[in-house]
Structure 1
Amino acid sequence: MTVLIDPPRWPAHDTLWAHLVSDASLDELHRFARAAGIPERAFDHDHYDVPAEKYDELVRQGAVPVSGLDLARRLEASGLRVKQRDKRPRLR
């Protein structure tokens, strides 16, 4: 059971963003995010989008830094990956 984070490199809203995922369960991911103070609105189907300024803090709290490619591969292998075509608009 591991929470993974990739480097912040996705630009949006005047910052760079990283992805936070679990390779074990969405419950684990949600627990970690709640404990880290990440808002629920940051969850996007199979990951949390987190701003660059939270990266070091999340690593200190136990997220394991991995490359974007490794994160994607491990998420896929976990069975938790939601394919782009499977994504539906979220209700807010």
Structure 2
Amino acid sequence: MTILIDPPLVPWRGRMWSHLASDESYEELHAFAEALGVPKRGFDWDHYDIPGEYFDRAVAAGAVPVRSRELVQRLISAGLRRRKRSA
């Protein structure tokens, strides 16, 4: 089980945001996010967008901090990367 989280570096709606992902399964990711109290609406194709204030709690709960590039690479390597369709 590896839950990954990148630093809260993405500004949006007056907050900084992180991405929470699993390199194992979506089921693992959903269970971790639910235990952390992240709303289901935060799920975005293959990861959760979570406010920066969740970062320390996520790490304390077992998420592994990684750089954004590594998070994406591990999703790709695990076959879990889902790209958004362009309009």
Question: What TM-score comes out, normalization by structure 2 length?
Answer: 0.95
Q: Please list, as runs of the form range in 1=range in 2, the aligned pairs for 1:1-80 lying within 5 A after superposition.
A: 1-80=1-80
Unpaired runs of 5+ in structure 1? none
Alignment partners' CA distance in 2, 1:29 and 1:15: 23
Give the letter for the 1:77 counterpart.
Answer: S
* Cα RMSD (Å): 1.3
Count of residue correspondences: 87
Unpaired runs of 5+ in structure 2? none
Alignment partners' CA distance in 1, 2:83 and 2:33: 22
Question: What TM-score comes out, normalization by structure 1 length?
Answer: 0.90
Identical residues among aligned pairs (%):
52
Show CA shifts across 1:9-50 (max 9, x none): 111010110000000000000000011110000001100000
Moved over 4 A (4+): none
